[in-house]
Structure 1
């Protein structure tokens, strides 16, 4: 696998020496072909006559008909357009060079482009299109690359359902998007298959494409019964939200109420829309769920949902939830109070020592705007090594936002901390530090701390670089 232009230049040199294509690059990787194409023309300023190294050591003959596959590949990447044009004509003898013909279809020289496009139009069939699709779509993003994408689409529209299945599982998301668009356009997939694809694919564009098509396709209630369960049970929120919205079209709006407490904000918003269309009141539903603070089955989504559509009066229902036995509920209660702009230092301070990292993270985020009001000495205590890591991280985050000589002292103390994240964060904080007018009243202490901390941080960076280079044990 080629990783950069230097690898492309080295690959061109090996091809000039007669090495087979399969031994020089990964012929199934589209990036390797693009790197080879660029590397074959790479010129270093110190080379005689400013020619690529391979062209100096093994120049091409005037008659390209005598070239084998390896050196003809170099001719297809040559800096001279006339040589590239002739190489395209000769490349029909070697099907393995078709990827370079695809690249030449977007060539900046019109004669080369036209010759390559004619050859691609004649050579591309359903089988070769499946292999070349990733490269064609990459080249298609260039200014002259639309032709290859059009030809690919024409060929794949004639492909069978079985042939397209290979593209649905391609690791390249651009290829999957293209394949699903063709399948939806040609109605090659049933609604249930589209719903299953929307639920399983990790790409958000594919999720939207397939979920939308799956909901548009059904024409009767039985089809919805097959599609909606797949969408509503999907792990990704975009697909679930599409399923929730589809409940209204299917005449099953009452089921949307169960998604008001979904873990995703997008799904909760769609559920509220459907419930309101049915005449329901999501705010009342949330308030009813949050009035029992000891309810162990209270979903965390209901807590943050109340903040999303309620008002500041609803903060009174969230305060008791700060002591809820479930960590997720406590974290969402803090996030809800922040969303309602009802943060109070006295109530949230104890949660900075919460055993759950999510709660401490949300609490630190809520208290950031009030960092100046926090007691520096108590934050310094929480940075101590005797506290859990998430507590130390939250305390330093607030102390760093608070500023002052205490924050500088804390950062200097953490420069030798065994925790890599805290150590690096402290060093970055010191490097960016400039004494404020309030800090200058401490006189030489501030300068001494900055000098000592920057010296320590520089030493850490130097030792790490040596370790990475293998020169320091």
Structure 2
């Protein structure tokens, strides 16, 4: 048990108000408090109040099960800290009685306890979780933005438990039907799960304009929210849609958002603009661009061939050609393996692998390319053909006179090739000055 949670439970047992006991904005603090109270009841029961007011007995317990300690002389109502402790108590009869007491509280007094009520919605005992769900169902509509913002992370944290889905469903229903300020508060919550859920519901409710969804998709750091907002923006795209929606998507640094923007060009009736994305660095964006062009009757393969034979070849053009071209395009890609731009050479090698047009003898010289990216692609292309590789030439490339990336690539191919001499090669490199070769050698020897 985390000492922080234990200390919080101890302070709560001493009468400290709940808001001063834990960080109420942290869902882990609530679930940790729940467990800590149970642990206190087991290890230091005298720390907790006697809960004399907890007289509910709806459970059918074994006859030898000990009853909660009662002091019938105490008839006062439990205060906030005591009720919070009772909601976490290991004895289900006390948890049940605490829920009945909480149901009678005025709304302002109940709101601080709602996260613990949400945890009880996933309780193992049906006589506890059913009243908890009834109470949460009744309290949520009037809870207000801040209370829902505190409650939502706790609900989503316990949603993965066996009985946790019911509270999540109640929360989702509330966010779908709540006034705008409640949803707005959840949208800017620090908790990632809460923000994701709130954005999904915002899309369902069409809470934002397409322009605002597009701006959020382009700027939000969370990749899931990027997808959600991009979908929300694209859903509002039509022939009348202008640059204020499309440009934030198309100019986004995130490939999934750009892909959504390119796909939206079809709905906007602007397929010609997709041609510029045929050479995007992302394969997903390139695929979307080809899809849009095909929907309007344009075959992208000739466009790629033109790009690959022009004076200035975009680096991604050779790979894009391989993704939609024919085996006959391999001749064009082989010519680009000698292009002065290393990015073009690397994508040309990658394209040959996509077309299954690898020629081991012609590709071996590229293991000496001055660009590490080209060598990496050459290694990836040659790996399936290790039985045809000249082992002596690979071992020669391990010499210290070769650049680091050449030596590392040669060793990777030797490991893929295997053979009886591989351990000897690895032992010769365990003290090498190159850290990556040392690490790879030790990893191979340990395997």
Q: TM-score range by the shorter chain?
A: 0.7 to 0.9
> After superposition, what is the alpha-carbon deviation per residue over 1:7-27, rounded to whole angstroms, capped at 9, x for unaligned?
577447644763855676433
Q: Structure 1 stretches of 5 or more lacking a match? A: 44-50, 433-473
Partner residue, 2:42 = 52
CA contact (8 A) 2:322 2:351 kept: yes
CA contact (8 A) 2:250 2:262 kept: yes
CA contact (8 A) 2:237 2:268 kept: no
> For 1:271 and 1:219, how far apart are their aligned partners in 2?
18
> After superposition, what is the alpha-carbon deviation per residue over 1:392-446, rounded to whole angstroms, capped at 9, x for unaligned?
32222111111123321222233334555443332221122xxxxxxxxxxxxxx
Change (3 A) 1:198 1:13: closer
> For 2:414 and 2:218, how far apart are their aligned partners in 1?
43
Cα distance, 1:305 vs. partner? 0.8
- Are 1:334 and 2:331 an aligned pair? no
CA contact (8 A) 1:254 1:278 kept: no
> For 1:392 and 1:344, how far apart are their aligned partners in 2?
21
Output aligned runs, 1:100-115, within 5 Å: 100-115=116-131
> For 2:389 and 2:198, how far apart are their aligned partners in 1?
56
> For 1:403 and 1:242, how far apart are their aligned partners in 2?
44
> After superposition, what is the alpha-carbon deviation per residue over 1:334-360, rounded to whole angstroms, capped at 9, x for unaligned?
110111111122322232233322222
For the residue of structure 2 that corresponds to 1:279, the secondary structure is: coil
Change (3 A) 1:218 1:273: closer
Give the alignment's Cα RMSD to 1 decimal: 3.0
- Of the three residues 265, 268, 271, the one matched with 1:247 is 265
- Are 1:63 and 2:52 an aligned pair? yes
Higher relative contact order (CA 8 A, sep 6+): 2
- Of the three residues 26, 29, 35, the one matched with 1:32 is 29
Partner residue, 2:281 = 263
- Are 1:122 and 2:139 an aligned pair? yes
- Are 1:304 and 2:319 an aligned pair? yes
Cα distance, 1:249 vs. partner? 1.9
Give the TM-score normalised by structure 1. Answer: 0.78
Q: Structure 2 stretches of 5 or more lacking a match? A: 54-75
CA contact (8 A) 1:126 1:155 kept: no
- Of the three residues 381, 390, 415, the one matched with 2:430 is 415
For the residue of structure 2 that corresponds to 1:363, the secondary structure is: helix
- Of the three residues 199, 206, 211, the one matched with 2:218 is 199
Partner residue, 1:313 = 328
Output aligned runs, 1:177-256, within 5 Å: 177-218=196-237, 221=240, 223-256=241-274
> For 2:129 and 2:99, how far apart are their aligned partners in 1?
9
Change (3 A) 1:364 1:281: same
> For 1:214 and 1:176, how far apart are their aligned partners in 2?
17
User: How many pairs align?
Assistant: 416
